Structure 1
């Protein structure tokens, strides 16, 4: 993999030249995306799926959350290119992919200057085929404790490699072909050497809160404390065997 960089007007694009070429700049144009994704809308928290050059891809535009997001939803303060959220996530995905971890491969990222001190960003990754996120799955059916154990082992694998996921919730966990888990959305994620026990435990606790919240919101949500015990037991075994 070789990362190429080019500028087009106010936009700076980085891309993996094993997957796309410099023409990938058009993939970040909203008109092109709308026309080539079946008319999907760019909304906060919604990824846009499309095909390009024989690849199944996912486009994500950065949106602010919380109260401030009501006023400046897509704009961030610019300092240096390497410090932008989009640049950091692209390289974070690249680093974790090179570690052999199950994450989407980064394809391209774009940072567009709005003013000298503000930017907007977007990232494109390969789509994980045959996958659904954990929120969708658990609203439809339960998972076996064996699968919960596999998820716990996988989270431990990320942690033993010092990978910190800043927002480990059910929407950021994919299950592909009903047997393999992937983690997605590494915005604000980091490789922390070493990853502290406190930070690792905060990841696990964040996931537990996410599951409990959804269980309270959806009466048919398929999650139990027995499932959670299967996950944490497998997690601890994997951590202790490292």
Structure 2
């Protein structure tokens, strides 16, 4: 299944909208100040940078700016070289999310991206739907343990993505959300943040590297929070679910 987006030319670049996204979205919608003026900012998530939660017509959306990391981030916090609309990180993430969402994978519903040109550079933002009632695994495990079945379910969830050839560039404990059963009748795990993600031919090399990265993130988070409910037996249950 290919992604189907509406591309709108703007004075400064482009807005790309998923098929059922309201067409009245303008560049202003990608600024947190726009939502502040409407008293529609309902929360935020703070990591290296802030992600904003906003409310639109009864729906809660996540507004995220694309920031550079690593060595390049020391020279420019958010400007990327522009080599064509389809080569932007925002378009790559939106198209991948659009495909996965329409194939009923456990990902947030994609809404739109904004690409702003500045000479040979661009800056970008993305809006996705907030996963109702969900919290990331670090937050969940800081409150208590998951049972073996939950870990196996998580492993099976990751395996489903891998069988489809979904490469997640930053699979870590904070990029996995757990939605409680009270929302839709059963507990669900979601993967989020598909920046630099892509569809690949399934093979054990990158799939195993994805799992190794996830394990390192659990160990890293436990190093920062010794009471985090994560054990080698938990990881073994996840792998069992993945292989099953």
Assess same fold via TM > 0.5: yes
CA-to-partner distance for each residue in 1:69-101, whole Å, 9 max, x for gaps? 133111111101100000100001011112211
2:162 aligns with one of 159, 162, 181: 159
Shift of 1:41: 9.1
Alignment of 1:28-47 (within 5 A): 28-35=30-37, 36-37=40-41, 44-47=48-51
Q: What aligned pairs does 1:1-242 form with structure 2 within 5 A after superposition?
A: 3-35=5-37, 36-37=40-41, 44-115=48-119, 117-177=120-180, 179-192=187-200, 194-237=201-244
Cα gap change, 1:137 to 1:43, in 2 (>3 Å): closer
Alpha carbons 2:44, 2:50 under 8 Å: kept: no
SS of the aligned residue for 1:47 comes to strand
Residue 205 to residue 39, structure 1, CA distance change in 2 (3 Å): closer
Q: Helix, strand or coil: the match of 1:158?
A: helix
Alpha-carbon deviation of 1:3? 2.5
Q: Deviations over 1:155-189 (max 9, x none)?
A: 11111111111110011100001511000000111
Change (3 A) 1:105 1:131: same
- Report what 2:184 is aligned to: none
TM-aligned CA deviation for residue 2 of structure 1: 5.6
Contact 2:43 2:52 in 1 (8 A): no
d(CA) in 1 for partners of 2:45 and 2:239?
38
Which stretch shifts more, 166-175 or 95-104? 95-104
Give yes or no for contact 1:12–1:110 (8 Å, CA) kept in 2. yes
Change in Cα spacing, 1:43 to 1:72, as seen in structure 2 (3 Å) is: farther
CA distance in 2, matches of 1:221, 1:70: 32
- Residue 166 and residue 40 in structure 1: after superposition, are their counterparts in 2 closer, same or farther (change >3 A)? closer
1:34·1:41 contact (CA, 8 Å) conserved in 2? no
The separation in 1 between residues aligned to 2:230 and 2:97, in whole angstroms, is 29
Gaps of 5+ in 2: 182-186
Alignment-derived partner of residue 240 in structure 1: none
TM superposition shift of 1:223? 0.3
